[in-house]
Amino acid sequence: MTTRRSILLLAGSGLALAAAGCRETVQAAATTAPDVLLADSDHGLLRLGPAGEQSLGAAVAAFDGSHLYAARPGALDQVNPATGEAVRSTALAEGWLPRVVSADGRVCALSRTGASDRPTARARTTLLITAPAGPKQHELPGVIEPDAFTADGTGLFVLEWLPATAPDRYRVRLLDLATGDIQPLATRAKTPVPPGAEEEMRGDGRQAVLSADRQMLFTLYTHQPGHQHTRDLLSGRPGNAHAFVHVLHLTERWAYCLDLPHPFGEGPAAGHALAADGRNLIVADVTSGRLAYASPESLSIERVVDVPVAAGSTAALALTTDGRILLGAGGVTVLDRASGRPAGDWALPGPVRGLALSRDGSRLHAGGAGRITWLDTGTGTRRGDLAVPGLTWLRHAL
């Protein structure tokens, strides 16, 4: 990846527009989006683009949006996100919901229940795995929720909720798709976790993103009362992390928790956001006004800087290729990546519900209440708005 430590200099009118929040008049509302977008809504996953809106209903996208599966009566379709067309269909009984897609798009996990912050009690869980070789069901004891596939598609990381009779905490384990066995993960040192040393989490999984090389999955967790990492259990140290990034290595099959310093995790989960590229793993907490830089290679916190406080707002992050961090809350704060200092503010018609950069980096799409707005990333100029009734979160621009 290229170095991104130079401060972006916006010349002439561009700088003036950014500093002023880019409040110029916008043209009439658009009827289509300029890029293909994936967004959550109160009626399922949406695919938006130049050809219009496509409602996919019960559907799931890969963590980077590059692959997509959607259920319809009697079938599960693998959908090309770029075109919206089905490229492969599998016969499917009623009641199955797609939950997780492998990084290469070849495998999908489905369950009879939808995603939930707190699953209900049950004695057994049935998962359905669809693959080129054909579908296969796994009958598992207890409350099991699919989380991510291994890179080769032969294993599925799952959340095992405990106790099954009244779930209030969970641990990450690995389902061997050949044998159906559920096993503990390895440590970062690639050694098996001893019995009794598997960490149990009680918090909220706020957001998950893939590393730039697609080998690791970073998941931001907040509010972990009484949580102890495996390393704490092995050493006997007390643990009480309020927020951390849970790292799953999808190839080497180990897990690691990168602790975030105080006050991360003290405020609402919605006020936190995560983004990653080849150089940085960045976590924002707009409630406390903090931004943490971490290294995806060493998995260590490098520094924490102050950013504008936006208490009560939902946070979102996007990283440009030219050295800027775009922090969404009530509007968009432009930060210089090298220094962390604000370099501009871009106004939006309402609070942010997700940010996504176009593939060429020229447009920033911002989700909002029932709409999507796009801005010119060179100047922050507001270029258009699209009404999207029921939109809850903008996920990807493709």
Please provide the DSSP assignment of 172-214 as one string.
EEEEETTT--EEEPB-TTS-BPPTT----B-SEEEEEEE-TTS
Within 8 A by CB and 6+ apart from 166, the residues are 121
pLDDT of residue 203: 77
pLDDT, average across residues 220-224 = 81
90 touches 107 (CB < 8 A): no
Task: Name the DSSP letter for residue 239.
Answer: -
pLDDT of residue 236: 40
Burial track 204-230 (b if 16+ CB lie within 10 A, e otherwise): bbbbbbbbeebebbbbbbbbbeebbbb
pLDDT of residue 52: 97
pLDDT of residue 198: 83
d(CA 81, CA 211): 20
Both tokens of 252, joined, read: 């080497």
pLDDT of residue 201: 83
Instruction: Label residue 285 exposed, middle or buried (CB < 10 Å: 0-12, 13-18, 19+).
Output: buried
Rg (CA), the chain: 21
Q: Mean pLDDT in the chain? A: 89
Instruction: Label residue 315 exposed, middle or buried (CB < 10 Å: 0-12, 13-18, 19+).
Output: buried
With a cut of 50, say whether residue 3 has pLDDT above it.
no
- Looking at the whole model, is its pTM more than 0.85? yes
User: Is the CA virtual torsion 329, 330, 332, 333 positive or negative?
Assistant: negative
pLDDT tens for 98-155 read 999 999 999 999 999 998 878 999 999 999 999 998 999 999 999 999 999 999 999 9
The dihedral formed by the CA atoms of 150, 153, 155 and 157, expressed in degrees to the nearest 10: 50
311 touches 287 (CB < 8 A): yes
Both tokens of 394, joined, read: 């903008």
35 touches 49 (CB < 8 A): yes
pLDDT of residue 117: 79
Task: Name the DSSP letter for residue 113.
Answer: S
d(CA 70, CA 64): 16
pLDDT, average across residues 220-245 = 60
pLDDT, average across residues 200-225 = 88
Within 8 A by CB and 6+ apart from 246, the residues are 172, 201, 205, 218, 219, 220, 221, 255, 256, 257, 258
Query: What Å distances lie between residue 324 and 37, 245, 321, 332, 360, CA to CA?
Result: 22, 22, 7, 12, 15
pLDDT tens for 54-83 read 999 999 999 999 999 999 999 999 999 999
Closest CA to 320 of 369, 375, 265: 375
pLDDT of residue 225: 56
pLDDT tens for 184-208 read 998 888 887 777 778 888 878 889 9
pLDDT tens for 257-296 read 899 999 999 999 999 999 999 999 999 999 999 999 999 9
With a cut of 50, say whether residue 299 has pLDDT above it.
yes
237 pLDDT band, cuts 50/70/90, is: very low
With a cut of 80, say whether residue 12 has pLDDT above it.
no
What number of other Cβ atoms are within 10 A of residue 18's Cβ? 21
pLDDT of residue 4: 30
Task: Name the DSSP letter for residue 322.
Answer: T
pLDDT of residue 36: 98
Closest CA to 102 of 128, 131, 136, 125: 131
